[in-house]
Amino acid sequence: MEAREPPGDQLFDLEGQFWTAGSEFFRQNVAPAADMVYPDPAGVLVSGEIERSLRGRPRWSQVALDERRVLELGERAAVVTYKATARRAPIEAPYVARASSAYVHDGTAWKLIFHQQTPLAVP
């Protein structure tokens, strides 16, 4: 059997785009039964609510994903965790959070099935 490339780089490429891309990227890369847990007031968003919540909203203009970790749960599932530092113009203060995302491979591509953020205090 041919060795498979670990999914870490590919998943973190997707993860960075989830912070900066628009609703079309979400539609193409989120699993149909996905859940996302954001700080209030957004709270928990499910499937179609995720894409709709992005329409007309500014996206992050910059994001750095540090302290990266990947936990492979099998050939078709993985969890990534990291510390995100994001900026949205014209707001100068960064948004810093611990985040985790779970991905499943649908036979064609990796799809986001779960995402959660915990904001951190900025010193």
Give the domains, in start order, of the chain with CATH numbers: 8-119 (3.10.450.50)
Which among 16, 15, 48, 17 is positioned nearest to 31, based on CA atoms?
Answer: 48
**Structure token digits, residue 119:** 């904001």
Average pLDDT for 60-76: 94
pLDDT at 100 over 90: yes
Dihedral of the CA atoms 49, 52, 54, 57 (nearest 10)? -130
Predicted structure pTM score: 0.89
Contact 50, 29 (CB under 8 A): no
pLDDT of residue 5: 61
pLDDT of residue 48: 78
Average pLDDT for 10-24: 93
The confidence band for 18, taking pLDDT boundaries of 50, 70 and 90, is very high
